[in-house]
Structure 1
């Protein structure tokens, strides 16, 4: 029971239409609806993201600093990938209808849709799904700090991240000129990549000149 909730109040809500609570829209096939205590004040320690994706669209790399995430596949197919901070390896899990992948709190992760009409439900053990986006880290960290810290060419770094003008959430952006399909890792239930970092194997265009 929530100690701060007056269940006799006329402002107490027990149902909500998530179709009226859009978090992000890329296009008609790629969008996310949100449900938290701001939308439904009786939720207690729970929140949801209702995610719709078309093939090769990516819920960008991010962390949830306040919650673990359980990703449930309603339709379609997606790869849920996460960086295990203890093994320093990327773990990849294909989920199809009825299957789930669990992302512990604070783990760097992302989802890539493999099929048309992919529909995912992300469930969080927190009243609001807070997040830190990879696009914000890249575009808002000063270029001189990135260059100095990782021994990079500062101008090359600036040119690389210059197209990231705002938070991405679902990528690639509509105006992206690089339309190469995402290559998914060969795996059974999950794969840990040993030969080369996952991003360098499957997104080499973003790393040319840096490694």
Structure 2
């Protein structure tokens, strides 16, 4: 699709502070900021996630149906894991600062921080890559469908997945259910941040309600 940007417009944006565009925050050491065409209207066919993780925290299993992902390690270290759909083999690639791992479009993958202070850039070849999260698959697929397809007792499936919350993004998320007033992981709707006249023809970056 051909699209045109009016670079003479006073609304044209050439810089953006990703610290002002949070996507998800588990705590002060585990959070994700987002940069897409909704934040920077001259970005065109690329986008970024700025990811901070502490040791043993994961970017949960997921896949991007419309984009490949290049994971660049800035600090700390991480294992990037992916399922090769051609060999049905899990591939594990430990990377440290200056190293990258490439995840092809549509491949199931996840990342585990190997040390505190891990900082990653996830670079996509789409202005707003779409995502299907493992937590959403587990929680939003009807329990009767899962139980019937995999020959399980439905009540046991419900019990097993009781702690799974949609849109987990950063795991593990296995702490006891928190009472009202305690801190909860924060998922942000990026559309609440400043918007520009340009509108991408692509689907929303992440599915929000």
1:100 aligned partner? 100
Normalising by the residue count of structure 2, what TM-score does the alignment of the two structures yield? 0.82
Q: Does 1:45 align with 2:45?
A: yes
Correspondences of 1:47-126 after superposition (within 5 Å): 47-126=47-126
Report how far residue 176 of structure 1 moved: 5.2
Does the residue aligned with 1:116 lie in a helix, a strand or coil?
coil
2:5 aligned partner? 5
Does the residue aligned with 1:156 lie in a helix, a strand or coil?
helix
RMSD of Structure 2 on Structure 1 (CA):
1.3
Report how far residue 46 of structure 1 moved: 0.3
- Output one character per residue of 1:144-181: Cα deviation in whole Å (capped at 9) or x when no partner: 1001111111111110111113321000127259xxxx
Q: Does 1:15 align with 2:15?
A: yes
Q: Which runs of 5+ in 2 are unaligned?
A: 178-209
Q: Any conservation in 1 of the 2:46–2:126 contact (CA below 8 Å)?
A: yes
**What is the number of equivalent residue pairs in this alignment?**
176
Give the distance between the partners of 1:162 and 1:173, measured in 2 at CA. 12
- Output one character per residue of 1:170-205: Cα deviation in whole Å (capped at 9) or x when no partner: 00127259xxxxxxxxxxxxxxxxxxxxxxxxxxxx
Q: Any conservation in 2 of the 1:48–1:129 contact (CA below 8 Å)?
A: no
Q: Any conservation in 2 of the 1:147–1:157 contact (CA below 8 Å)?
A: yes
Q: Any conservation in 1 of the 2:31–2:51 contact (CA below 8 Å)?
A: yes
Give the 4+ runs in structure 1 shifted more than 2 A.
174-177
Q: Any conservation in 2 of the 1:33–1:51 contact (CA below 8 Å)?
A: yes
2:29 aligned partner? 29
Q: Any conservation in 2 of the 1:32–1:49 contact (CA below 8 Å)?
A: yes
1:154 aligned partner? 154
Structure with more contact order per residue of length (Cα contacts < 8 Å, sep ≥ 6): 2
Does the residue aligned with 2:110 lie in a helix, a strand or coil?
strand
1:144 aligned partner? 144
